[in-house]
């Protein structure tokens, strides 16, 4: 099969983790006889520095003509502490999501048996936890009207959702639940927010049309608590943009490290695969960052963008083997730790040697 990929390494540790994922992608292409072509694009602070725009038109065109996008990370501390900066790296990510119509961000939360002891939760709570968070990605407060008034002394961000946006994400939630354990938890704040009341109203309309799925409603504050108290009670969770951002960071740490969780952003145009963690600038260039979340994002790319399930599975098996054998970076190492590039080499080597 022809695999035509856009690679957007971005900022901080982005380039080094994407490089490790590409080692695995190359090994897979070789092993399964796929014809791989790829091209690099600029994004984030790197793109601001070079061309003054965090998501240049050239990068967008590259994404549009590719079959999948592998994305590293975005963000640079030089912008974080400057509230007056007019262009920010994060705007590049948001522009990419919006322009590619990536309305759903799929974030699977899974544990690795050999890492359970690193979870801040007790073993019996987290062992076997396995759920998917579907985060709405192109609406809500991230994209609503925002601004200042009263000479800059009042600021506002608006949380707007349309019926169409809510219906399409809930529909996807039901499709995921149908392929899994048939439970959908709709997370909102319908006791306070009008936008959440529309979410709940629409979910209540759709629930009877999906009688094979158990629809459950949960306020976001309660969900934040339940994720750490009973993570095994979730199967598929669907929620708006900002709630999903916050809850998935929380969910990621129960697995033992933020460096492990991949994501897929899917929607209208080319899908984007990226780790859920950020650009970890303190580690940039040091060859210490955990590449696993990005390598697992590449596994999701094979599965979601190309329907190549065996390829995805082999990458997952390679990652699981590396963790079991302790070929891991310092964030999850017990004794000896390995460099980012060594972990990448080992995982690609496992793929190459697999029968
Ligand atoms: C994420 C990130 C982004 C978000 C930032 C970098 C804009 O935290 O992908 O979760 O908030 O969506
Ligand atoms: Mn986030």
The answer to whether 271 and 69 are in contact (CB under 8 A) is yes
Question: Considering 255, 278, 297, which residue would you say is the last residue of a domain?
Answer: 255
Residues 146 and 238 both lie in one domain: yes
Q: Is 150 a catalytic residue?
A: no
Residues 290 and 220 both lie in one domain: no
Structure tokens given for 38? 């790829």
Residues 166 and 192 both lie in one domain: yes
Question: In which domain, by residue range, is 213 found?
Answer: 120-255
Q: Is 157 a catalytic residue?
A: no
Residues 106 and 84 both lie in one domain: yes
Residue 331, domain member (yes or no)? yes
Residues 245 and 281 both lie in one domain: no
Residues 182 and 250 both lie in one domain: yes
Q: CB neighbours of 229 closer than 8 A, spacing ≥ 6?
A: 125
Residues 180 and 301 both lie in one domain: no
Q: CB neighbours of 201 closer than 8 A, spacing ≥ 6?
A: none
Q: Is 221 a catalytic residue?
A: yes
The closest residue, in CA terms, to atom 12 on ligand 1 is 245
The closest residue, in CA terms, to atom 9 on ligand 1 is 276
Residue 115, domain member (yes or no)? no
Query: Domain holding 23: CATH number?
Result: 3.40.718.10
Q: How many CB atoms lie within 10 A of CB 125?
A: 17
The answer to whether 23 and 84 are in contact (CB under 8 A) is no
pLDDT in single tens digits along all 355 residues of the chain? 999 999 999 999 999 999 999 999 999 999 999 999 999 999 999 999 999 999 999 999 999 999 999 999 999 999 888 888 889 999 999 999 999 999 999 999 998 888 898 899 999 999 999 999 999 999 999 999 999 999 999 999 999 999 999 999 999 999 999 999 999 999 999 999 999 999 999 999 999 999 999 999 999 999 999 999 999 999 999 999 999 999 998 998 898 878 899 999 999 999 999 999 999 999 999 999 999 999 999 999 999 999 999 999 999 999 999 999 999 999 999 899 999 999 999 999 999 999 8
Residue 80, domain member (yes or no)? yes
Q: Which atom of ligand 1 is nearest to the CA of 248?
A: 10
Q: CB neighbours of 271 closer than 8 A, spacing ≥ 6?
A: 68, 69, 102, 264, 265, 301, 304, 305
Q: Taking the CA atoms of the chain, what radius of gyration do you get in angstroms?
A: 20
Number of structural domains (the chain) is 2
Cα of 309 vs centre of ligand 1, distance in Å, is 27
Q: Which atom of ligand 1 is nearest to the CA of 93?
A: 7
Question: Considering 240, 255, 270, which residue would you say is the last residue of a domain?
Answer: 255
Question: Considering 204, 227, 255, which residue would you say is the last residue of a domain?
Answer: 255
């Amino acid at each position: 099969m022809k695999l035509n990929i856009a690679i957007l390494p971005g900022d901080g540790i982005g380039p080094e983790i994407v490089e490790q994922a590409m080692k695995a992608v190359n090994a897979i292409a070789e092993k399964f006889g796929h014809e791989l072509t790829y091209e690099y694009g600029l994004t984030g602070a790197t793109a601001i520095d070079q061309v003054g725009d965090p998501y240049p038109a050239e990068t967008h065109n590259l994404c549009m003509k590719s079959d999948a996008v592998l994305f590293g990370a975005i963000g640079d501390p030089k912008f974080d502490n400057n509230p007056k900066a007019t262009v920010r790296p994060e705007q590049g990510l948001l522009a990419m999501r919006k322009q590619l119509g990536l309305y759903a961000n799929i974030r699977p939360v899974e544990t690795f048996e050999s890492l359970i002891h690193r979870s801040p939760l007790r073993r019996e709570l987290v062992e076997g936890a396995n759920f998917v968070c579907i985060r709405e990605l192109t609406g809500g407060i991230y994209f609503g009207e925002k601004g200042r008034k009263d000479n800059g002394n009042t600021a506002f961000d608006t949380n707007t959702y349309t019926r169409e946006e809510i219906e399409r994400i809930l529909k996807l939630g039901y499709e995921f639940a149908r392929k899994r354990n048939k439970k959908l938890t709709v997370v909102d704040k319908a006791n306070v927010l009008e936008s959440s009341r529309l979410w709940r109203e629409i979910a209540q309309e759709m629930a009877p049309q999906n009688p094979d799925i158990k629809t459950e409603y949960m306020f976001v504050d309660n969900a934040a608590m339940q994720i750490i108290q009973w993570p095994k009670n979730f199967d598929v969770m669907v929620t708006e943009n900002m709630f999903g951002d916050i809850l998935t960071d929380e969910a990621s740490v129960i697995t033992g490290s933020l460096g492990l969780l991949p994501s897929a952003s899917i929607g209208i145009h080319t899908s984007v695969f990226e780790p859920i963690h950020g650009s970890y600038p303190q580690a940039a260039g040091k060859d210490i960052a955990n590449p696993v979340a990005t390598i697992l994002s590449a596994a999701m790319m094979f599965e979601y963008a190309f329907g190549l399930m065996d390829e995805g599975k082999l990458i997952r098996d390679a990652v699981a083997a590396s963790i079991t054998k302790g070929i891991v970076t310092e964030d999850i190492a017990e004794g000896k730790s390995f460099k980012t590039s060594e972990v990448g080499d080992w995982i690609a080597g496992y793929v190459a040697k697999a029968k």
